[in-house]
Amino acid sequence: MRTAGNTDAGVGSDLKLLLVDDNQVNCRLVELLVQRRGWQCTAVNDGQAGLGAWRSGAFDLILMDVRMPIMDGLEATRRIRVEEVSRGGHVPIVALTANVESEDLAACLAAGMDAVLCKPIHQEEFYRVCLAATGKNG
Amino acid sequence: MTITAAVDFDAVLQRLGDDTELLLDIIGIFLEVTPPTVERLGCAVHDTDFATAVELAHELKGASANLGAVELRRQANLLEMSARQRLTGQVAEHLVLLQQEFARVVADLECYRSNLMSRR
């Protein structure tokens, strides 16, 4: 698990993100974008580690890759949603996916994800989707 | 025959809000992370370790997409699909093309980075 962040105050500086993605370049790009806003980011490389990080931390948002080793993003999301029934709360989960076919998007939403962010990442869209998913837009 | 650029810098910059500092950071990350991936991919193909080849080609595909390396992404995708079907001959052919394209991408990125930094 790797945590990155910027203590400088910025727009939405209280945002704590959990990034679950096995692609190193993608992870580092997201961490750069997050740091530029003064947000905090904890990164793990598979769904199982993501589930563990979610259980032990408090996050405003989870960015979840779909295809990963050990446990994919769909399964990790389903498990989080099941646990939330007894635990309470609802963490927004945004899918990170290069697959933009309608059935892939439908699978993300059916698993319990709240929104989808297409890869490769577009800076403006990244911030917009993160803020919208956490209800902190503007 | 038309030789196209290995990296579509205009498209990447557009996605990054014309932020050249961010682009330089991403170029640095790509040049740090992907050479070992390509090397390991070559070993996996040599060892006919298809599962590892699929995983590494998929990783390279994602990394290439972030930098607008369209042809490298395409080659990585072809290799991933061939490895998934365990097509030894095709996997080996795609590896050669992928390695050639990877060298072009690295050269483009290094040249672009050098030009940007010399203007500072």
Taking a contact as any Cβ pair under 8 Å apart, which residues of chain A between 23 and 52 contact chain B?
A: 23-26, 28-29, 32-33, 36
Instruction: Say yes or no for a CB contact (<8 Å) between B34 and A122.
Output: no
A72-110 confidence digits (pLDDT tens): 999 999 999 999 999 999 999 999 988 777 888 899 999
Taking a contact as any Cβ pair under 8 Å apart, which residues of chain A between 79 and 108 contact chain B?
A: 98
Cβ–Cβ < 8 Å for A76, A20? yes
pLDDT at position A7 over 50: no
B24 touches chain A (CB under 8 A): no
Average pLDDT, chain A: 89
Q: What is residue B4's DSSP assignment?
A: P
Residue in the structure block whose two tokens are 């209280």: A14
pLDDT at position A11 over 70: no
B93 touches chain A (CB under 8 A): no
Report the pLDDT value the prediction gives residue A99, as an integer from 0 to 100.
75
A118 touches chain B (CB under 8 A): no
- Alpha-carbon span B48 to A22, nearest angstrom: 23
Report the pLDDT value the prediction gives residue B88, as an integer from 0 to 100.
94
* Span B85-94, average pLDDT: 95
B31-74 confidence digits (pLDDT tens): 999 999 999 999 999 999 999 999 999 999 999 998 989 999 99
- Alpha-carbon span A62 to B78, nearest angstrom: 31
Q: What angle do CA A95, A97, A101 make, to 5 degrees?
A: 110
Report the pLDDT value the prediction gives residue A12, as an integer from 0 to 100.
46
Percent of chain A with pLDDT over 90: 75
A123 touches chain B (CB under 8 A): yes
pLDDT at position A8 over 50: no
pLDDT at position A138 over 70: no
B99-110 confidence digits (pLDDT tens): 999 999 999 999
- pLDDT band per the 50, 70, 90 thresholds, residue B27: very high
The pTM (predicted TM-score) of the whole model is: 0.87
Cβ–Cβ < 8 Å for A63, A94? yes
Report the pLDDT value the prediction gives residue B3, as an integer from 0 to 100.
55
Q: What are the φ and ψ backbone dihedral angles of A115, each rounded to 5 degrees?
A: -160, 170
Q: Which residues of A touch B23 (CB under 8 A)?
A: none
Partners of residue A16 on adjacent β-strands: A40
Percent of chain B with pLDDT over 90: 87
* Span A49-78, average pLDDT: 95
- The answer to whether the complex's ipTM is over 0.95 is no
